[in-house]
Amino acid sequence: MRRYNKVREFIKDIAYENLGKRLVNSREGAVEFELPVLTLEILLSYGKMIENEQENVKRVQLADAYLDGAVLAGRGLHSSTFQLNLSRF
């Protein structure tokens, strides 16, 4: 569960374009939100979510690198032994 859904709802209701007007020198006064309760367990779960997302990013990067190599292999070049020879240029 996301802790800042109220903030997202506020921004959605106000519209992004009007956010500055509502937050700075507003006649309606300061915006107040209930502070979320962040226990150690919640913080650790957020940390785990970030760690999992980083693992997903690594997997996508590895898949992209693999597919780039597969394209090279498809052109008659072996992806694991392909080396660029710059001496011709």
Q: What is the pLDDT of residues 41-67, one digit of tens each?
A: 999 999 999 999 999 999 999 888 888
Q: Where are the domains of the chain?
A: 1-36, 37-81
Cα–Cα distance measured from residue 46 to residue 38, given in angstroms and rounded to the nearest whole number: 10
Distance CA 9, CA 16 (A): 11
Spell 57-71 as b/e; 16+ CB within 10 A means b: eeeeeeeeeeeeeee
How sure is the predictor about 89, in pLDDT bands with cuts at 50, 70 and 90? very low
Per-residue pLDDT for 81 more than 80?
A: no
Mean pLDDT value across residues 20-28: 88
DSSP 8-state code for residue 25:
S
pLDDT at 58: 93
Per the model's pLDDT, the better-predicted residue between 41 and 79 turns out to be 41
C-alpha atoms less than 13 angstroms from C-alpha of 59 in its C-beta half-sphere: 6
